[in-house]
Structure 1
Amino acid sequence: MSEWETLQREAIVIDGHADTPQRFVDEGWDMADPVGTGMVSLETARAGGLDAEFFAVWVDPHEWPGRYAERSASLLAGVQQQLAKHPDAMVLGLSADDIVKAKAAGKFCVLLGLEGGHAIEASLEKLRAFYAQGVRYMTLTWTNTNEWADSSGDMDDANVQHHGGLTDFGREVIAEMNRLGMMVDVSHVSDATFWQVLECSTAPIIASHSSARALNGAMRNLTDEQLRAVATKRGIVMVNFYASFIDEAFREAWRATEAMRKPLYEAADKPWRERGVPAPYAASLTVDRAFYAEHVGKLFPAPRFEALIDHFDHIAKVAGIEHVGVGSDFDGFAILPEGLQSAADLPKITRVLLERGYTAEQLKLLLGGNMLRVMREVAAAGR
């Protein structure tokens, strides 16, 4: 067995973000099934040495207005059904120690993250309820600004009421998350929100699925100043694999095709609109896959695998190796960099980082050790 294969098996490998629960609920898909068009399954996790995954409870605010609690409950139930169906293969993790125990037992550890603070419906009671159900981080916003925090996704929309970062209630949310021992996730937030979170959080923060803005201009990525600030707070930035957040040439060319793709999305959503029910996110992912397959190499270049490695390398050098991790965003998009198809391909990242000169001990931190530390520190701060 090669050095990188041995390392992948010895390390505790934790992925900070995957949108897989939608597949359970919207597609009736099972973790033991072939991965199909998805990216995470029991089989691909075993093949890639993936020990633990934060499944995102994400409610599309455009499709579920006024029904955030209903949708959240269905996604949580979908995860629980998978755990009940596969008790010999999967276990729910509530702490860093649970991840370590699951690996020792040869089980895949499922963790829960809430993506988008709109899901708590401006209620600290609902925030506490999510924690009681096993949620161990909350991404403060999705691409939408909510009642108490600004998002990076709509700062140029004059129709959206922004807050200049956090509202007073937003600061109460951060304080309550600190008290509970729930990790504060700054992926998706605006720059103003980011800096205000840094001021008021008393515990380390995370960016569960964000990359480096110095290499790719997407506002979802973090600047070098922000990377260093997360490190100062003893937090972690977990690299997102989405091609448009990784490869700048691909991002610009893909954005240029937006007008071509818009009617395709509308056509894909039409059957659901006619029935008066929310359109599943899978509909737009199907459009993206087909459009990419038809036009790659013509309208846009294939996103480069080395570009992904560059983000790991950059964040490790700017923030420090103790403050970088894996935050794939698997199943939340359709297009991965070349050479990656699913969680089974995670060892390729380990191999190339070894080739770039990172040591086995450094990579054990990047692959999961850093996240274990942050989870323990946040939990301890809460106690």
Structure 2
Amino acid sequence: MADLQEELNTTAEAGELDQSPAPPEPPPAHDPEPASAAAPTARARTLLAAHPVADGYSGLPWALRELPWYDFETGDSGLESDLPRLREGRVGAQFWSVHVPEGLSADRAVGATLEQIDLVKHVVGAHPEGLRLARNASETADARNCGRIATLIGPACGAALGDSLGTLRALHSLGLCAVTLSGTSWAGADGLTTFGEEVVREMNRLGVLADLSGASETTARRVLAVSKAPVIFTRSGARALRDHPANLSDELLAAVGAAKGLCLVPLAAERTGSSVREVADHLDHVRRIAGPECVGLSGTYDTTDARPEGLTDASCYPRLVGELIERDWSEAELALLTWGNAQRALRGADFTARAARERRPASTATIERLDG
């Protein structure tokens, strides 16, 4: 893993590459800032104009599906993230989850995921002035440089693969760029099965990121060992601060840092606390244990998660970044947190895929042959 990443210039990712002119200053936030918080929040907005937020998890597809109607352009609907809020929050990219409810049969999970992907493409196509589909780091940067919010499809739940590498390839051809491995027979409490390892290798060959949030520690450690591309945890904080099953132990955070993976800390009260300060505590902790190049942000907006006070919707990112400025995070560290680390993970997946496709063809393995 480390060898494959040596060619990537992290400093350039965070600051020198993908620069774009600062967008016009947005209108005031929905919740006015206290006077004492105004100065660091203003500095945060300036920083985010150069290094916007790459949000690691949005529940918009399922939220939109459940609404009888919505107005994504003006924000006049029951959403936590729409175009006005995303612009105000200085969001430059989002991973739109195409997760579906647990308990669906394999065929229904595949079909529901296809419906979610179709919905994402419809919404993006209906808002071309604000959104643009992206599959990789280059397309994400292009969207940002054109003044659009890059929309990346995924993660999808592992059940959506239907235990089929052919289905994985088909979903990737539709734009899927991340899969959550937990909740499958081949990535359970006891770790990866032989077929599970082949899934990870095929994801590497395609450039699909492995999302390990919710996976057992045994599975997470095995994926870190097998994967040649960076792995991500799309909704995980620090278990040392809050004992939630999706949060990571210090030992696992250190392993993520050693493998140059990415822990995306969620803005979710149950996982990371009920205040801006508590969320910032998790970011501090992950930065200290895994390293500043291995921590990112995950809004988890438009999901069922309760929000920390002060982080009620996607417009509130400057408030969180302002808190980190007060904690003496450097501009370089903040640039990695908001944009650079997500770009590094995407570029790492691209680099690994190009190298893997030169070495091996598409896998024809089946779960029956490997795990039967």
Pick the aligned partner of 1:148 from 186, 190, 200: 186
Q: Distance in 1 between matches of 2:162 and 2:102?
A: 11
Q: Which residue of 1 aligns with 2:193?
A: 167
Q: Which residue of 1 aligns with 2:348?
A: 377
Q: Which residue of 1 aligns with 2:367?
A: none
Give the superposition deviation at 1:137: 1.1
Q: Which residue of 1 aligns with 2:73?
A: 32
Q: Does 1:204 align with 2:230?
A: yes
User: Are the structure 2 counterparts of residues 307 and 167 from structure 1 closer, same or farther at C-alpha, using a change threshold of 3 Å?
Assistant: same
Q: Which residue of 1 aligns with 2:170?
A: 129
Q: Distance in 1 between matches of 2:297 and 2:159?
A: 25
Contiguous gaps of at least 5 residues in structure 1: 151-161, 248-302
Q: Distance in 1 between matches of 2:294 and 2:225?
A: 19
Q: Which residue of 2 aligns with 1:326?
A: 297
Give the superposition deviation at 1:33: 4.5
Q: Which residue of 2 aligns with 1:343?
A: 314
CA offsets 1:253-292 (integer angstroms, 9 cap, x no match): xxxxxxxxxxxxxxxxxxxxxxxxxxxxxxxxxxxxxxxx
Q: Distance in 1 between matches of 2:165 and 2:258?
A: 28
Give the superposition deviation at 1:206: 0.9
Q: Does 1:101 align with 2:101?
A: no
Q: Secondary structure of the equivalent of 1:239?
A: strand
Q: Which residue of 1 aligns with 2:9?
A: none
Q: Distance in 1 between matches of 2:257 and 2:237?
A: 14
Give the superposition deviation at 1:360: 1.3
Q: Secondary structure of the equivalent of 1:75?
A: helix
Q: Does 1:57 align with 2:57?
A: no
Q: Which residue of 2 aligns with 1:189?
A: 215
- Comparing 215-224 with 93-102, greater Cα deviation is found at 93-102
Q: Does 1:315 align with 2:356?
A: no
Q: Contact 1:211–1:245 (CA<8 Å) still a contact in 2?
A: yes
Q: Distance in 2 between matches of 1:30 and 1:92?
A: 19
Q: Does 1:362 align with 2:333?
A: yes
Pick the aligned partner of 2:253 from 227, 249, 270: 227
Give, as a single letter, the amino acid of the residue that structure 1 aligns with 2:222: Q
The 5 A counterparts of 1:193-272 are 193-247=219-273
- Comparing 37-46 with 310-319, greater Cα deviation is found at 37-46
Give, as a single letter, the amino acid of the residue that structure 1 aligns with 2:235: H
Q: Secondary structure of the equivalent of 1:39?
A: coil
Q: Contact 1:326–1:366 (CA<8 Å) still a contact in 2?
A: yes
Q: Secondary structure of the equivalent of 2:187?
A: coil
Give the superposition deviation at 1:66: 4.0
Q: Distance in 2 between matches of 1:33 and 1:75?
A: 23
Q: Which residue of 2 aligns with 1:115?
A: 156
Give, as a single letter, the amino acid of the residue that structure 2 aligns with 1:37: G
Q: Which residue of 2 aligns with 1:88?
A: 129
Q: Contact 1:12–1:369 (CA<8 Å) still a contact in 2?
A: no
CA offsets 1:134-190 (integer angstroms, 9 cap, x no match): 11111112xxx322111xxxxxxxxxxx6x111111111001001111111111101
Q: Distance in 1 between matches of 2:187 and 2:78?
A: 34
Q: Contact 2:72–2:83 (CA<8 Å) still a contact in 1?
A: yes
Q: Distance in 2 between matches of 1:65 and 1:105?
A: 39
User: Are the structure 2 counterparts of residues 363 and 35 from structure 1 closer, same or farther at C-alpha, using a change threshold of 3 Å?
Assistant: farther
Contiguous gaps of at least 5 residues in structure 2: 1-24, 26-41, 355-372
Give the superposition deviation at 1:94: 1.1
Q: Which residue of 1 aligns with 2:277?
A: 306
Q: Which residue of 2 aligns with 1:256?
A: none
Give the superposition deviation at 1:30: 4.4
Share of identical aligned residues, percent? Answer: 32
Q: Contact 1:178–1:201 (CA<8 Å) still a contact in 2?
A: yes
Q: Distance in 1 between matches of 2:120 and 2:105?
A: 19
Q: Secondary structure of the equivalent of 1:237?
A: strand
Q: Contact 1:214–1:224 (CA<8 Å) still a contact in 2?
A: yes
CA offsets 1:31-84 (integer angstroms, 9 cap, x no match): 225264322111110010001100001111225664012111111111111111
Q: Distance in 2 between matches of 1:111 and 1:361?
A: 25
Q: Contact 1:64–1:71 (CA<8 Å) still a contact in 2?
A: no
Pick the aligned partner of 1:74 from 115, 120, 141: 115
TM (normalized to structure 2)? 0.81
Q: Distance in 2 between matches of 1:372 and 1:35?
A: 32
Q: Contact 2:266–2:298 (CA<8 Å) still a contact in 1?
A: yes
